[in-house]
């Protein structure tokens, strides 16, 4: 009887220790939030907003420190979080929304991760009220999207950060399925450099989220701006604030092209992916996941997001995994065509 009581006591103590372990861990371990781009772009803006609120909703209330890790269109950061970062819950990361697609398609030999094996936290945006816009100089040789179609030699020079990033892959996709005369110049270190390159006439255009432009380049949205939207992506219908800018789906010449576009738009449900490394302790994973969703509902978070012009329509961890499963089970001919388009080996 005495031994049973001892065992029961030990089990109770273990249960108490387990219940306290998340709080005890995070009281002594700050969280590093790795951002796959440099300061100033859309991913960085979301990351810094999240960093201000996330710790308040995790037991132990850890501080959250942003670490920018640009490189290869955020592939460097994605590989780091998956392979190298501590798997104890002290590191999380955010990277291009196209990184999961590159993993599922096996379209880039430098991808070192399986997107479905990350510990998913979710995304603060499902793109429900956003759009991925090709912002173009009004003095560029291509004045409207129809000017880039059909026969001709004039090209629109579109800047991008790197292979596997949205700006590069979406430009390549639309060039192929819509027969657009776009030329990608990749290798820019981050979103800020791309904004500057357009302003300096180094390139004609760049893709970025509407909300990102609102928060990082608001002057582009003014009526007298030298920049305008040429095409919008990631939406079935036109953004209400961009009624004169056609969607990619509208321009699809046939059902196959439309299917390709719709498949490529699926990752936009995870517009701003947030993950932790795989195989972190389950209780810390739950704490991060619950804290992430709670932060996106904080009234001050929502007030601040409105103030800086970023869209909030959160997606949780399970919905993120469901989206990745949908991508993985897409028709093989669609995946093969997508793989061919964005192959970077």
User: Do 198 and 171 sit in the same domain of this protein?
Assistant: yes
Q: Quick one: which H or E segment has residue 57? A: none
User: Do 18 and 113 sit in the same domain of this protein?
Assistant: yes
User: Do 143 and 163 sit in the same domain of this protein?
Assistant: yes
Q: How confident is the model at residue 59 (pLDDT cuts 50, 70, 90)?
A: very high
Encode pLDDT of 291-334 as tens digits.
999 999 999 999 999 998 889 999 999 999 999 998 999 889 98
How would you classify the pairing of strands 274-276 and 119-122? antiparallel
Q: Which residues of 145-157 are buried (b: 16+ CB within 10 A; e: fewer)?
A: bebbeeeeeeebb
Q: Which of 239, 267, 295 corresponds to the end of one domain?
A: 267
pLDDT in the model for residue 256: 87
CA 201, 149, 157: angle at the middle one, nearest 5? 20
User: Do 98 and 147 sit in the same domain of this protein?
Assistant: no
Please state the rounded mean pLDDT for residues 191-215.
94
What CA–CA distance (Å, rounded) separates 50 from 60?
Answer: 17
Q: Which of 224, 249, 267 corresponds to the end of one domain?
A: 267
Residue 252, domain extent: 132-267
Give the count of domains, the chain: 2
The neighbouring-strand residues paired with 157 are 183
User: Do 169 and 221 sit in the same domain of this protein?
Assistant: yes
User: Do 104 and 139 sit in the same domain of this protein?
Assistant: no
* Alpha-carbon distance values, 235 to 130, 239, 269, 282, 324 (Å): 8, 8, 10, 35, 18
pLDDT in the model for residue 164: 66
User: Do 253 and 168 sit in the same domain of this protein?
Assistant: yes
**Residues 88, 277 contacting (CB under 8 angstroms):** no
User: Do 158 and 200 sit in the same domain of this protein?
Assistant: yes
User: Do 201 and 316 sit in the same domain of this protein?
Assistant: no
**Residues 58, 310 contacting (CB under 8 angstroms):** no
Q: State the CATH number of the domain containing residue 247.
A: 3.40.190.10
User: Do 141 and 110 sit in the same domain of this protein?
Assistant: no
Query: Mean pLDDT for the chain?
Result: 91
User: Do 198 and 97 sit in the same domain of this protein?
Assistant: no
User: Do 165 and 118 sit in the same domain of this protein?
Assistant: no
Tokens standing for residue 35: 């951002």
Q: State the CATH number of the domain containing residue 323.
A: 3.40.190.150
Q: How confident is the model at residue 5 (pLDDT cuts 50, 70, 90)?
A: very low
Q: Which of 242, 267, 292 corresponds to the end of one domain?
A: 267
Q: Is 236 exposed, middle or buried (0-12, 13-18, 19+ CB in 10 A)?
A: exposed
Q: How many CB atoms lie within 10 A of CB 192?
A: 18
What CA–CA distance (Å, rounded) separates 72 from 89?
Answer: 25
Q: How confident is the model at residue 145 (pLDDT cuts 50, 70, 90)?
A: very high
pLDDT in the model for residue 40: 86
Report helix, strand or coil for 209: strand
Of residues 100, 72, 85, the one with CA closest to residue 33: 85
């Amino acid at each position: 009887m005495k031994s049973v009581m001892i065992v029961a006591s030990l089990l109770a103590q273990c249960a108490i220790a387990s219940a306290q372990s998340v709080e005890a861990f995070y009281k002594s371990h700050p969280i590093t939030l790795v951002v796959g781009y440099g300061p100033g772009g859309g991913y960085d803006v979301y990351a810094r907003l999240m960093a201000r609120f996330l710790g308040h909703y995790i037991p132990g209330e850890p501080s959250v420190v942003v670490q920018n890790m640009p490189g290869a269109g955020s592939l460097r950061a994605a590989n780091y979080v998956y392979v190298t970062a501590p798997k104890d819950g002290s590191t999380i990361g955010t990277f291009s929304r196209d990184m999961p697609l590159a993993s599922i398609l096996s379209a880039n030999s430098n991808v070192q991760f399986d997107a479905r094996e990350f510990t998913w936290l979710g995304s603060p945006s499902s793109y429900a009220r956003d759009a991925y816009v090709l912002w173009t100089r009004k003095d560029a040789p291509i004045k409207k999207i129809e000017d880039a179609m059909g026969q001709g030699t004039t090209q629109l020079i579109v800047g991008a950060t790197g292979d596997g990033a949205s700006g590069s892959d979406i430009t390549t996709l639309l060039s192929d399925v819509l027969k657009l005369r776009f030329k990608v110049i990749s290798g820019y270190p981050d979103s800020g450099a791309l904004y500057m390159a357009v302003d300096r006439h180094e390139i004609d255009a760049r893709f970025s989220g509407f909300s990102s432009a609102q928060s990082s380049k608001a002057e582009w949205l003014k009526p007298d701006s030298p920049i305008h939207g040429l095409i919008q992506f990631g939406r079935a219908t036109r953004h209400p604030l961009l009624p004169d800018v056609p969607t990619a789906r509208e321009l699809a010449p046939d059902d196959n092209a439309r299917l390709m576009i719709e498949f490529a738009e699926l990752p936009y449900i995870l517009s701003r992916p947030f993950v932790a490394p795989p195989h972190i302790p389950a209780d810390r994973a739950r704490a991060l996941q619950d804290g992430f969703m709670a932060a996106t509902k904080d009234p001050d978070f929502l007030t601040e997001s409105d103030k800086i012009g970023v869209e909030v329509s959160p997606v949780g961890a399970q919905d993120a995994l469901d989206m990745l499963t949908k991508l993985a089970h897409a028709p093989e001919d669609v995946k093969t065509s997508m793989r061919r388009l964005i192959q970077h080996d």
